[in-house]
């Protein structure tokens, strides 16, 4: 009996020994970079425990504008000091003399330092190239003059560029072969997310030295600089954004007190997004707590009378109308007296004055002949569908620059059989939903004479030395398009809106560059104020300029405003004039 107990005890100890040995092998040999279900990087954590380090560059790729200017970070030449300097003799006088500060200032900065510091801390002193070279020539361990990257506090095109953050689970799912980088930041929205695979850091650049339990140097004062060995990385994503125009547009929307809405500018020749502003701004402390993270330029909205452009295109091309025909614009879409009587006028003046009755009548006539005609012409104008540049790229079979809503005209087929529904659809109400991006694209399509282009958000991806890894060429958007004649007539009508006798946008006649475009006012809901029911509106203006030699298509929208507030003409005018000034 006693012998059995001893054998059992020895056997248990042996089993325990093998279990512990297996666990140690798992920790030390097999799962050093992805331990447990949480994929903990044991090597990385152990290094962190016995080192002090200062990150110079996280290693994530850079997002730049079309001129190569950084949109997310800036670089500054700074002086870096390690805390062990306060316990050793070093040439503090020479360093202080080079940067032009008293010796005691450097000494006092180090006095309470427990980690590597950037001299000046909250407002680092910026060094010249000459100062950097002179400091580094001294070859003092623990003293470095380096170029360090800092995130911009005021970022341009926040929703367009997108957000980054740490998310271990998403990182592991997205990059299962890069488990060791679990603490790296990944793209969550916008360009940061779409191009994350090219922006993800390979390895950060940092200064590092080993310390003991109380923070003292473990192997002397030998500080090492660790950086990626590959000179071609990290990659740069070169967007189509023009930083100067973007900055001006953001200033203008701020000045005009746009709380919800935005503006988007397209390059007509290339189909590139030149500037994109969405309000409200991103709440940096809590980006997903409100609508700040939403890019309203990619979001389906009620367009109002901007949509009459589609009805006009279909009516002209299918010969439902000519300029001899008159419409009863003293009546609303239901045949009742109009709040804004305009008399009997033709299609040209109806478009300029935005007569609802004209387009309701035309839409009913056309849908009776062809139920799908409105949807067909919305697509022909590039107002609906997937507008993003797309194509095969590396292991992606259908890579896209962005994800935007595709728009809709009718909610279901039954609505096309109801004349009231069709009438409301014709004036951009009921179930019509389109994105500001698509509205700008429609204007660009008309300005180009009917040619449809895919929209680009990125021009190219570049290596760190500036050479191109790959570039995105101009791309034709598939599908049917309007005829050159229809495009020409639409150009004339859009011009009349601003420059005609009955045009609704005469306020833009004084713009520095000649504008053509269309107004839109859409009812979005009601609210009570002082026991009175009031209407909320989306106010739009979309157009292109200069009229004789079109270069830009621009859309502005002010969302959920009341009738006598939030006008969009001053905003559109300011943007056109700012662009004219920048390009003068």
Secondary structure of 298-367 as H, E, C letters: HCCECCHHHHHHHHHHHHHHCCCCCCCCCEECCECCCCCECCCCCCEECHHHHHHHCCHHHHHHHHHHHH
Q: Which of 226, 221, 64 is nearest to 156 (CA)?
A: 64
Percent helix / strand / coil, the chain, rounded to 5: 35, 25, 40
**Two structure tokens written together for 336:** 């009742």
H/E run at residue 279: strand 272-279
Pairing of strands 236-239, 62-64: parallel
Backbone angles phi, psi at 178, to 5 degrees: -125, 40
Distance CA 475, CA 399 (A): 13
Q: Is 293 a catalytic residue?
A: no
Count of residues in the chain: 584
Residues 6+ apart with CB under 8 A from 107: 86, 92
CA dihedral 357, 360, 363, 369 (to 10 degrees): -90
Q: Count Cβ atoms within 10 A of the Cβ of residue 15 and give its class: 0-12 exposed, 13-18 middle, 19 or more buried.
A: exposed
217 torsion bin: left (phi>0), alpha (psi -120 to 50), beta (else): beta
Distance CA 525, CA 302 (A): 11
CB 275 within 8 A of CB 493: no
474 torsion bin: left (phi>0), alpha (psi -120 to 50), beta (else): beta
CB 324 within 8 A of CB 346: yes
Distance CA 584, CA 519 (A): 28
Annotated catalytic residue: which of 278, 305, 354, 423?
305
Q: In sequence order, what DSSP letters do the residues of 81-125 get, joined into one string?
A: E-GGGGGS---HHHHHHHHT--HHHHHHHHHT--S-EETTTTSPP
- Between CA 358 and CA 362, with CA 360 as vertex, the angle to 5 degrees is 70
CB 444 within 8 A of CB 542: no
Distance CA 440, CA 390 (A): 19
CB 422 within 8 A of CB 356: no
CB 276 within 8 A of CB 264: yes
H/E run at residue 443: helix 436-447
Distance CA 267, CA 448 (A): 11
Q: Which of 566, 20, 538, 110 is nearest to 299 (CA)?
A: 538
Which residues are marked as active site?
Answer: 305
């Amino acid at each position: 009996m006693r012998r059995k107990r001893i054998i059992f005890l020895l056997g248990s100890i042996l089993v325990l020994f093998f279990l512990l040995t297996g666990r140690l092998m798992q920790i030390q040999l097999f799962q050093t970079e992805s331990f447990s279900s949480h994929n903990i990087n044991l090597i990385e954590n152990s290094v962190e425990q016995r080192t002090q380090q200062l990150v110079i560059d996280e290693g994530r790729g850079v997002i730049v504008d079309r001129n190569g200017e950084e949109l997310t970070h800036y670089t500054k030449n700074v002086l870096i000091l390690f805390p062990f300097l306060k316990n050793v003799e070093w040439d503090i006088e020479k360093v202080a003399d080079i940067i032009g500060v008293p010796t005691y200032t450097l000494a006092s900065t180090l006095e309470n330092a427990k980690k590597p510091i950037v001299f000046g801390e909250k407002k680092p002193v910026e060094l010249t190239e000459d100062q950097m070279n002179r400091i580094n020539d001294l070859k003092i361990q623990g003293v470095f003059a380096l170029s360090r990257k800092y995130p911009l506090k005021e970022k341009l095109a926040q929703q367009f560029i997108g957000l980054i953050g740490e998310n271990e689970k998403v990182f592991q799912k997205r990059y299962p072969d890069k488990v060791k980088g679990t603490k790296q930041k990944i793209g969550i929205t916008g360009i940061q997310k779409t191009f994350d695979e090219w922006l993800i850091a390979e390895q950060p650049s940092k200064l590092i030295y080993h310390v003991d339990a109380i923070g003292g140097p473990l192997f002397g004062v030998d500080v090492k600089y660790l950086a990626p060995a590959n000179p071609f990385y990290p990659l740069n994503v070169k967007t189509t954004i023009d930083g100067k125009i973007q900055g001006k547009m953001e200033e203008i929307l701020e000045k005009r007190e746009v709380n919800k809405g935005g503006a988007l500018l397209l390059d007509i020749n290339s189909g590139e997004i030149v500037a994109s502003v969405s309000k409200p701004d991103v709440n940096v402390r809590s980006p997903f707590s409100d609508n700040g993270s939403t890019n309203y330029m990619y979001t389906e909205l009620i367009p109002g009378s901007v949509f009459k452009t589609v009805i006009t295109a279909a009516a002209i091309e299918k010969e439902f109308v000519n300029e001899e025909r008159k419409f009863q614009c003293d009546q609303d879409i239901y045949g009742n007296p109009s709040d804004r009587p305009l008399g009997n006028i033709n299609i040209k003046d109806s478009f300029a004055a935005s007569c609802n009755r004209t387009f309701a009548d035309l839409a009913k006539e056309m849908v009776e002949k062809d139920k799908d005609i409105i949807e067909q012409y919305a697509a022909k104008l590039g107002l609906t569908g997937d507008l993003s540049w797309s194509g095969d790229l590396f292991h992606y079979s259908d890579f896209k620059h962005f994800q935007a809503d595709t728009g809709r005209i009718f909610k279901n087929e039954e609505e096309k059989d109801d004349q009231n529904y069709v009438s409301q659809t014709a004036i951009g109400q009921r179930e019509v939903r389109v994105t500001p991006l698509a509205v700008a694209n429609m204007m660009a399509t008309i300005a180009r004479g009917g040619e449809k282009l895919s929209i680009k958000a990125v021009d190219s991806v570049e290596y760190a030395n500036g050479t191109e890894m790959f570039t995105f060429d101009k791309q034709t958007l598939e599908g049917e398009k309007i005829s050159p004649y229809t495009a020409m007539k639409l150009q004339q009508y859009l011009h009349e809106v601003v420059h005609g006798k009955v045009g609704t946008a005469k306020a833009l006649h004084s713009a520095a560059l000649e504008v053509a475009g269309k107004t839109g006012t859409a009812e979005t809901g009601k609210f009570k104020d002082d026991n009175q029911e009031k209407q909320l509106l989306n106010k739009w203006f979309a157009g292109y300029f200069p009229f004789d030699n079109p270069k830009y298509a621009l859309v502005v929208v002010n969302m959920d405003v009341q009738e006598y507030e939030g006008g969009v003409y001053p905003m559109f005018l300011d943007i056109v004039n700012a662009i004219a000034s920048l390009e003068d």
